[in-house]
Amino acid sequence: KNEVEQSPQNLTAQEGEFITINCSYSVGISALHWLQQHPGGGIVSLFMLSSGKKKHGRLIATINIQEKHSSLHITASHPRDSAVYICAVAEETSGSRLTFGEGTQLTVNP
């Protein structure tokens, strides 16, 4: 069992739909990150969370430390949101090292 699990693995949506990607982890963490990887491979850091909720534009990330669960929401999805979304955690005991989920491939169709 992976320490970081994401669901779903693949997600196809129509433009305008509300999207949720989930991440569960089994270790104590100091922070959780949501990353976006585009087809070319480059990775962009979307959020770093240690508690509560953060919002940036159409993206919202929440975390529940007690339940060891985080969600990434995309409102009014657009084809340009198509990418792989990766959840990564910084474990309490491993310093700054990140443990990654397998990623969620999101495709938004026009």
Partner 1 sequence: GAVVSQHPSRVICKSGTSVKIECRSLDFQATTMFWYRQFPKQSLMLMATSNEGSKATYEQGVEKDKFLINHASLTLSTLTVTSAHPEDSSFYICSGAAKGYGYTFGSGTRLTVV
Q: Decide if 84 contacts 103 (C-beta within 8 A).
A: yes
Cβ–Cβ < 8 Å for 101, 21: no
Among 21, 83, 89, 101, binds partner 1 (CB under 8 A): 101
Binding flag, residue 39, partner 1 (CB under 8 A): no
How many residues belong to the site for partner 1 (CB under 8 A)?
Answer: 17
> Which one of the spans 17-25, 36-44, 64-72, 73-81 is the region binding partner 1 (CB under 8 A)?
36-44
CB of 102 to partner 1, least distance (A): 5
Q: Which is nearer to partner 1, 38 or 76 (CB)?
A: 38
* Residue 42 binds to partner 1 (criterion: CB under 8 A): yes
24 sits near partner 1 (criterion: CB under 8 A): no
Kindly tell me which residue out of 11, 13, 32, 35 binds partner 1, with binding defined by CB under 8 A: 35
| Helix ranges restricted to H, the chain | none
